Amino acid sequence: MRMKVYLGEMFPIPQRLACSYLLATSVISFLGRIHGKETSIYSLYTLVGTWSIFVLMLILRLMDELKDREIDRELFQTRPLPSGKVLEPDIKVSLIVGIILYLAANIFVSHAFWMAVFVLWYSLMMFKHFFIPRILRRSLLLTLTTHNPIIPIMLFYVLILFSAEHKLSLRNLNWPPSLLLIGMYWAMFFSWEIARKIRSKEEENAYVTYSQIFGRSGALLVAGGAQTIAFAIGLYFFWALSFSEIYLAILLAGYGMAMWGHLRFVINPNPMTSKLKLFAEGYILSVLAALIIGPIQYV
């Protein structure tokens, strides 16, 4: 019951499961397009990919609860763990169960299992602060540098999953567009990481944010720059792969929405307009939808 309360507040399952499915199917559909392979959004490998992304995100969330418990007790006392709605043993048991379920699902996907193990190993290194906790806790930028690569590593796992399903060796993969795709996703999630830690002046406190480090305008430039890189790669795919106007329209709408969120905050920075995380998430969802629809138009 306590974990049900926790999940409802910190990790809503329907939304996270839907996002995991969109992420897995968009990557796999796109890889199918550039490799000339038919893909199914209901195949075993797609479902394993969806489940693995979902459980991995839960594992990372639970790890963060344990890593940040002291900070949360000081600055975020209403969150489930510091408020006592959930107990530390609940988090630890759920973490162990999540790891077991993650590994169990990947037993069925041949050599992709070892990539799944590597992703888990990197996650555990993050949990241990790469064995330099004092250094990382003093630097948000160093933490970003060491932790954010989990995104391309996870996407590389999906690429290996795709190659396992279609019996493609690493040598036979079409690497340039595959790596561009990973870079596009990485840029989007990087911008989300920056956007969720941008605050207006009246919101700033002892919690270190990117708006404290770079200034509000600087942090917006970093987040917006990453989103622009993702948008540019998306435009390249539109031109190189002859995707439909529907793909372009969705891509433009998502990018325009994200830029509007930044502009609104620049014009009037306050606690209401600082909710840039929502705009970053909307942009990610629009690109996921575009990358699913683009290949489908030509099956």
b/e string for 165-177 if b means 16 or more Cβ within 10 A? bbebeeeebeeeb
What letter would DSSP give residue 259?
Answer: H
Of 145, 169, 193, the residue that ends a domain is 169
Say what percent of the chain tops pLDDT 90.
83
The reply to whether 150 and 185 lie within a common domain is: no
- Could you tell me if 102 and 50 are in contact, meaning their C-beta atoms sit under 8 angstroms apart? no
Q: CA 153 to CA 122: how far, in whole Å? A: 9
Q: How many CB atoms lie within 10 A of CB 139?
A: 13
The reply to whether 162 and 178 lie within a common domain is: no
Output phi, psi for 133, to 5 deg: -60, -40
What letter would DSSP give residue 198?
Answer: -
The enclosing H or E element of 20 equals: helix 13-35
The reply to whether 10 and 89 lie within a common domain is: yes
Q: How many Cα neighbours within 13 Å face the side chain of 33?
A: 24
The reply to whether 15 and 148 lie within a common domain is: yes
What's 131's domain CATH number?
A: 1.10.357.140
Residue 299: pLDDT band by 50, 70, 90 thresholds? very low
Residues 265-283: what's their mean pLDDT? 95
Write the pLDDT tens digit of every residue in 199-233. Answer: 999 999 888 999 999 999 999 999 999 999 999 99
The reply to whether 220 and 123 lie within a common domain is: no
pLDDT at 296: 63
Say what percent of the chain tops pLDDT 70.
98
- Provide the domain count of the chain: 2
The reply to whether 178 and 154 lie within a common domain is: no
The reply to whether 21 and 165 lie within a common domain is: yes
Averaged pLDDT score across all residues of the chain:
93
The reply to whether 199 and 156 lie within a common domain is: no
Domain containing 87 equals 1-169
